[in-house]
C-alpha cells in the first residue's frame, strides 16, 4: 500500500477515535484546511487568496489563536490540548512548504485571529526579559506583597490595581466579573455608593501572603489556569495625573481637613516653599496665576496657595523612600511586586478601552460581565481639548533637566518593564 495511503488511514482513524471520545459534544460543519490555517497566529499568506502558506512560526502558535479556554502567553506549548468542541487538524510547515497533518486539536469554535494576542504576548515577553535582567542585577530588593491584588478565587482571576491607570473603572468591573448574584451586587453598590475600592474588595477580599500561597497551591492541585492582569500607564503621565487629582486640588470645601493635604500637602509646602519662591517668585503663587497651577482647576478646587505646586511635589517624590510612597504615585514595580508575582496580560491605559475588550474576548471573560461598565468615565480630570501627554508636557515645563533625570531614576523600572519612552527637550528616556 502506498505510503500516502497509510497517512490518510491514520488520520481518519485518529479523527474517528477523537470524535468517539467527544461524542457528547455537538458541532457544526468542519472547516476546511485553508479556513483552519487562516486563523493560526503567525500565519501569513502573501500569495493572495490562492497563495500558499508562507510561515507558521511554531507548533505552539497553532494553538494560541483558539480560546476555550485561552492559554496564557507563557503557557503555550506544542503538546497543549484545548478540550471542547469541534475537531481541527493542526498543521506544520516543512522545509518544502508542504503541509502535513501534525496533530488533532479539539477546539470549541473557529474564531477570527485576534489582533491583540500578539501584542499581549510581546509585552509578556518583554516583562520576562526585563525581570530576568533585574533579578541578576537588582537595584533594590524585590517586593513580595500579594495583599494589593484583587483575586476572584472561584473565577481564577487576579488583578493588581495601578492607581491613576483606570483603576476606578476596573474596581467597579471586578464586582461585575464576580460570581455574586445580581441582587448581592446591587446591594454592595448601594452600601458603597461611589466607593469603588470597597465595592471591589467585597468581591475580592485582601489576601495575606499565607492565604495567597494556599490559593495558588489549590489552583495547581485542581489543574486550573489563572488569568492574571495588570493595567499600566506611562509613568510620568500617571505621576502628573496623581498630583492633579490628589494634591493640586482639594476634595473638601475646608481644604485643611482634606486627607491628602493633611497627610502630604502641608508637609510638602513646609519643606519646599521657600526654595519654590526663590525659583519662581512670589507672583507665581498669586490667585491670577491659579496659585501656581499650570492649568485652571475646576470647581474652585484650588482655593489657596497653601496647596503644593507640581515642582514641590516632584522634589518630595525624588526624596521619598519608595516603600513609603502613596499608592497613587508609587512605582508600579514596587506596588504590584513585579518580577515576583507573574502577570500574563499587560493592558496599557493609552488604549485602555480597546485593549480591555480584546483581553476579555481573548480570555473568554466577556461572557461573565457586561463590557459597557468599562466605558464609564470615572473620576475624569482633564480639559477636553488636551491629551494626557499634552498636560504632562505642560507640567514638566516647571522642571529642570536635573529634576527630570532624577525623576526618571525613581520610575526607571516601570519604563523598562512596560516599554515606555519619554522625549522632552533634548532628553530621551530610557
Per-residue pLDDT of the chain (430 residues; tens, 9 = 90+): 554 455 445 545 455 444 444 444 333 333 433 343 343 344 334 334 333 333 333 333 333 333 333 333 333 333 333 333 322 222 223 333 333 333 333 333 333 345 788 999 999 999 999 999 999 999 999 999 999 999 999 999 999 999 999 999 899 999 999 999 999 999 999 999 999 999 999 999 999 999 999 999 999 999 999 999 999 999 999 999 999 999 999 988 889 999 999 999 999 999 999 999 999 999 999 999 999 999 999 888 999 999 999 999 999 999 999 999 999 999 999 999 999 999 999 999 999 999 999 999 999 898 888 787 787 755 666 676 789 999 999 999 999 999 999 999 999 999 999 999 999 999 999 9
Q: CA angle, 211 as apex, 210 and 217 as ends, to 5°?
A: 90
Q: What distance in Å separates the CA atoms of residue 308 and residue 243, rounded to the nearest whole number?
A: 9
Q: What is the predicted pLDDT for the residue at 1?
A: 52
Q: With the C-alpha atoms ordered 180, 161, 378, 350, is the resulting torsion angle positive or negative?
A: negative
Are the C-beta atoms of 78 and 60 separated by less than 8 Å? yes
Cell of 300: 474652585
Q: What distance in Å separates the CA atoms of residue 341 and residue 146, rounded to the nearest whole number?
A: 8
- pTM of model > 0.85: no
Burial state string for 17-50 with b = 16 or more CB within 10 A and e = fewer than 16? eeeeebeeeeeeeeeeeeebbbbbbebeeeeeee
Say how far residue 188 (Cα) sits from the centre of its chain.
Answer: 25
Angstrom CA distances, 218 to 70, 151, 155, 222, stand at 20, 14, 13, 6
Amino acid at each position: 500500500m502506498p505510503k500516502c495511503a497509510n497517512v490518510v488511514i491514520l488520520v481518519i482513524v485518529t479523527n474517528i477515535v477523537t470524535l468517539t471520545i467527544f461524542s457528547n459534544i455537538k458541532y457544526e460543519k468542519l472547516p476546511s484546511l485553508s479556513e483552519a490555517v487562516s486563523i493560526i497566529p503567525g500565519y501569513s499568506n502573501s500569495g493572495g487568496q490562492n497563495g500558499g502558506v508562507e510561515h507558521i512560526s511554531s507548533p505552539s502558535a497553532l494553538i494560541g489563536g483558539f480560546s476555550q479556554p485561552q492559554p496564557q502567553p507563557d503557557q503555550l506549548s506544542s503538546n497543549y490540548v484545548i478540550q471542547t468542541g469541534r475537531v481541527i487538524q493542526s498543521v506544520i510547515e516543512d522545509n518544502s512548504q508542504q503541509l502535513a497533518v501534525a496533530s488533532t486539536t479539539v477546539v470549541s469554535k473557529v474564531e477570527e485571529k485576534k489582533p491583540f494576542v500578539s501584542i499581549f504576548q510581546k509585552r509578556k515577553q518583554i516583562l520576562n526579559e526585563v525581570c530576568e535582567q533585574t533579578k541578576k542585577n537588582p537595584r533594590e530588593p524585590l517586593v513580595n506583597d500579594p495583599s494589593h491584588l484583587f483575586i476572584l478565587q472561584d473565577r481564577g482571576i487576579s488583578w493588581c490595581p495601578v492607581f491613576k491607570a483606570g483603576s476606578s473603572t476596573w474596581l467597579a468591573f471586578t464586582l461585575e466579573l464576580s460570581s455574586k448574584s445580581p441582587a448581592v451586587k446591587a446591594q454592595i453598590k448601594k452600601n458603597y455608593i461611589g466607593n469603588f475600592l470597597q465595592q471591589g474588595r467585597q468581591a475580592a477580599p485582601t489576601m495575606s501572603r499565607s492565604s495567597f500561597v494556599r490559593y495558588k497551591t489549590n489552583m495547581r492541585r485542581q489543574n486550573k489556569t489563572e488569568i492574571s492582569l495588570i493595567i499600566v500607564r506611562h509613568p510620568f503621565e500617571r505621576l502628573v495625573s496623581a498630583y492633579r487629582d490628589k494634591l493640586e486640588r482639594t476634595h473638601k470645601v475646608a481644604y485643611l481637613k482634606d486627607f491628602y493635604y493633611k497627610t502630604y500637602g502641608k508637609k510638602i509646602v513646609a519643606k519646599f516653599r521657600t526654595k519654590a519662591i526663590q525659583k519662581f517668585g512670589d507672583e507665581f503663587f498669586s490667585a491670577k496665576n491659579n496659585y501656581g497651577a499650570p492649568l485652571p482647576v475646576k470647581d474652585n478646587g484650588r482655593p489657596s496657595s497653601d496647596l503644593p505646586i507640581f515642582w514641590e511635589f516632584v522634589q518630595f517624590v525624588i526624596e521619598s523612600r519608595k516603600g513609603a510612597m502613596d499608592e497613587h504615585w508609587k512605582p508600579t514595580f514596587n506596588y504590584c511586586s513585579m518580577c515576583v508575582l507573574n502577570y500574563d496580560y499587560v493592558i496599557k491605559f493609552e488604549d485602555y478601552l480597546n485593549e480591555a475588550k480584546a483581553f476579555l474576548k481573548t480570555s473568554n471573560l466577556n461572557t461573565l460581565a457586561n463590557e459597557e461598565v468599562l466605558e464609564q468615565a470615572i473620576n475624569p480630570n482633564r480639559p477636553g481639548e488636551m491629551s494626557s501627554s499634552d498636560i504632562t508636557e505642560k507640567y514638566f515645563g516647571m522642571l529642570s533637566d536635573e529634576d527630570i533625570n532624577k525623576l526618571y531614576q525613581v520610575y526607571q523600572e516601570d519604563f523598562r518593564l512596560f516599554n515606555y519612552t519619554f522625549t522632552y527637550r533634548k532628553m530621551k528616556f530610557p
